[in-house]
């Protein structure tokens, strides 16, 4: 067995082994915060579903994962897996056996996995109720040493065994109802070379600046590359899921950071990321809370950072969008903005409101402890930025722009008049007018307006931001707060999006020293702890989902900007 080229190694406990365009991966993560002892083939069609358990027949194997190749090792013996396109795995063994088994033992009319031998081509097929897909196992060399549970109903072990005393190779395909027999015409080694070449081209495109000063750039790129899926179900475009662990959706602000990170090197994919939630915009103009293969949720929305994001996206695109694409984007962004102006402003009020912390993206931030329905300064600031973006787009397209500028000035003025207390912003109950101040970083997020803030306000916000800095970055709740929780979601941990928004706003407000410090700390955090959903603010430990794409994208955004400043001397 010749060892094929494969690329840099990563921890399979943290990052799943997958391939651009694929809806499945190999991972021990089989449910939210649930890790199995064995690796599983996990599909994300109709949700996260572990379908097949992949177990070497000898205990004590170690696993080595790279972008092109996954390897189980036991001394000199090994099993290797490589993708043959988005829906097919090739797996081969050398003096090491493998059991391929249904993850669930029980089959009912409404759950479980059924196994049968296909008389057409001699393959064995697992068909999964949970995913609605088939998983065909074709033996390419060697032979099965044992089969259990073919055509079994009820509770049974449904499995195929590959022997450890002879070389073998199989293909596993995910498909719907039928397809021609598998004919693998490409060698295993060539597949590895092809996958590595594809991944290397992707990294070269989105991170050509990478070097010794940005050691996590390749891994960040792999997190994005491997979490990308082909259009299917409600996913109308090629999409970067937030993760191929349990956060396997596109949320309607997370996607903005992925779009920005991809823009310079993968402009078409970046444009798709920005537009995807807008494909599900409702009649009121609202974007969905989230989109995934078989579900579009509208129970909440997400904050209107899309004007801010579109400016960054357009600055990075190598070619500007054509007029038709820009006109469509203007219309979509206008409708999204009008939703906040029309549906989320109480009669006689200048400021829009959230209906729940989830609308802000900061689900349980302490800002929302007393009331969930609130007029907040972060929302006002994001909407001002979006309105100014619309005014610029309107001018560019020859459309009336004055109404957008008037609304931006109206909300900007109300934000400073009604919510600023001289040191930081408060939140206001639209029912009672009662104002409340919290210690959440959310109350400082208007710094994202940058130079569109009065200088004394920007300076005060910058001082407030510094009180949130730990060794590792911006705690969302100060560590000395009575409400701080180490793993408290938005009540303490460091998050990528707040880091990028604050860093960008500080820089545009002229607060470059603090911006540089925040950037350096966050880059070091990712280089130490990977690309988790969020991080313990005091220890830097990665928390929750450990392969989160907006974290990887935020690393790439900040690292690219750091390298640009280093080269230019800025």
Q: Which domain-ending residue is among 197, 219, 243?
A: 197
Instruction: Specify whether 245 is located in the same domain as 123.
Output: no
Mean per-residue pLDDT for 545-565? 97
Instruction: Specify whether 149 is located in the same domain as 274.
Output: no
Specify the pLDDT at position 2: 57
Asked which of 18-27, 81-90, 176-185, 468-477 is least confident by mean pLDDT, the reply is 176-185
Mean per-residue pLDDT for 442-451? 98
Instruction: Specify whether 355 is located in the same domain as 297.
Output: yes
Instruction: Specify whether 93 is located in the same domain as 117.
Output: yes
Instruction: Specify whether 246 is located in the same domain as 273.
Output: yes
> For residues 103 and 89, is the Cβ–Cβ distance under 8 A?
no
The string of pLDDT tens digits covering residues 180-231 is 999 988 999 999 999 999 999 999 999 999 999 999 999 999 999 999 999 9
Instruction: Specify whether 373 is located in the same domain as 490.
Output: yes
**CA distances to 243, 247, 277, 290 from 296, in Å:** 17, 14, 9, 6
Q: What value does the CA radius of gyration of the chain take, rounded to a whole number of Å?
A: 25
Q: Which domain-ending residue is among 197, 231, 263?
A: 197
Specify the pLDDT at position 28: 97
Mean per-residue pLDDT for 238-267? 98
The string of pLDDT tens digits covering residues 483-514 is 999 999 999 999 999 999 999 999 999 999 99
Residues facing 55 on adjacent strands: 99
Q: Which domain-ending residue is among 197, 224, 253?
A: 197
Domain that holds residue 101: 24-197
**Pairing mode of beta strands 146-148, 106-107:** unpaired
CATH code where residue 155 lies: 2.70.98.10
Mean per-residue pLDDT for 240-257? 98
Say if 518 falls within a structural domain. Answer: yes
Instruction: Specify whether 354 is located in the same domain as 484.
Output: yes
Domain count, the chain: 2
> For residues 70 and 92, is the Cβ–Cβ distance under 8 A?
no
Q: What backbone torsions phi and psi does residue 469 show, to the nearest 5 degrees?
A: -75, 130
Which has the closest alpha carbon to 425: 375, 480, 491, 489? 375
CA distance 46 to 130: 7
**CA distances to 274, 353, 429 from 380, in Å:** 21, 9, 14
Instruction: Specify whether 179 is located in the same domain as 250.
Output: no
> For residues 184 and 171, is the Cβ–Cβ distance under 8 A?
yes
The string of pLDDT tens digits covering residues 264-300 is 999 999 999 999 999 999 999 999 999 999 999 999 9
CATH code where residue 366 lies: 1.50.10.10
pLDDT category of residue 569 using cuts at 50, 70 and 90: confident
Say if 2 falls within a structural domain. Answer: no
pLDDT category of residue 3 using cuts at 50, 70 and 90: low
CA distance 251 to 559: 24
């Amino acid at each position: 067995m010749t060892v094929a080229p494969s690329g840099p190694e990563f921890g399979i406990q943290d990052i799943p082994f997958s391939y651009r365009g694929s809806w499945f991966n190999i991972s021990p993560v089989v449910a939210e915060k649930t890790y199995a002892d064995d690796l599983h083939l996990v599909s994300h069609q109709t949700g996260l579903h572990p379908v097949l358990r992949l177990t070497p027949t000898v205990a004590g194997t170690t696993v080595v994962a790279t972008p092109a190749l996954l390897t189980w090792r036991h001394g000199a013996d090994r099993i290797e897996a490589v993708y043959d396109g988005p829906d097919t795995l090739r797996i081969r063994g050398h003096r090491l056996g493998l059991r391929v088994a249904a993850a669930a033992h029980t089959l009912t009319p409404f759950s479980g996995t059924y196994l049968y031998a296909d008389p057409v081509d001699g393959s064995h097929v697992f068909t999964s109720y949970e995913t609605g897909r088939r998983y065909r196992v074709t033996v390419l060399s060697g032979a099965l040493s044992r089969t259990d549970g073919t055509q079994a109903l009820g509770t049974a072990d449904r499995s195929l065994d590959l022997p450890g005393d002879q070389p073998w190779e199989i293909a596993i395909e995910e498909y719907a109802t039928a397809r021609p027999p598998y004919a693998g015409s490409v060698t295993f080694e060539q597949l590895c070379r092809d996958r590595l070449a594809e991944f290397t081209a992707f990294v070269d495109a989105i991170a050509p600046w990478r070097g010794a000063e940005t050691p996590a750039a390749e891994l960040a790129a792999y997190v994005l590359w491997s979490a990308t899926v082909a259009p299917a179900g409600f996913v109308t475009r090629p999409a970067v899921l937030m993760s191929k662990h349990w956060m396997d959706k596109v949320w309607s602000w997370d996607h903005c950071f992925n779009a920005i990170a991809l823009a310079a090197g993968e402009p078409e994919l970046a444009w798709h990321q920005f537009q995807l939630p807008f494909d599900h915009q409702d009649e009121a103009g609202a974007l969905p809370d989230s989109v995934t293969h078989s579900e579009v949720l509208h129970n909440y929305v997400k904050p209107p950072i899309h004007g801010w994001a579109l400016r960054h996206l357009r600055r990075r695109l190598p070619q500007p969008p054509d007029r038709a694409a820009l006109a469509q984007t203007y219309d979509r962004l206008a409708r999204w903005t009008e939703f906040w102006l029309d549906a989320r402003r109480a009669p006689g009020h200048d400021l829009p409101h959230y209906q729940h912390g989830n609308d802000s993206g900061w689900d349980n931030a302490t800002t929302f402890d007393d009331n969930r329905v609130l007029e907040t300064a972060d929302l006002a600031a994001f909407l001002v930025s979006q309105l100014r973006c619309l005014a610029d787009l309107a001018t560019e397209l020859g459309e009336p722009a004055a109404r957008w500028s008037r609304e931006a000035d109206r909300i900007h003025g109300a934000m400073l008049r009604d919510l600023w207390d001289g040191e930081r912003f408060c939140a206001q109950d639209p029912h009672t007018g009662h104002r409340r101040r919290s210690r959440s970083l959310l109350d400082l997020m208007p710094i994202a307006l940058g130079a569109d803030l009065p200088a004394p306000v920007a300076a005060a916000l910058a001082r407030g931001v510094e009180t949130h800095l730990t060794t590792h970055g911006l705690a969302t709740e100060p560590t000395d707060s009575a409400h701080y929780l180490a793993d408290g979601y938005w009540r303490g941990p460091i998050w990528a999006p707040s880091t990028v928004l604050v860093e960008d706003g500080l820089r545009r407000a002229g607060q470059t020293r603090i911006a540089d410090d925040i950037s350096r700390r966050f880059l070091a955090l990712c280089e130490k702890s990977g690309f988790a959903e969020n991080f313990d603010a005091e220890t830097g430990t990665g928390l929750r989902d450990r392969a989160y794409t907006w974290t990887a994208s935020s690393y790439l955004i900040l690292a690219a900007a750091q390298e640009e400043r280093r080269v230019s001397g800025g």
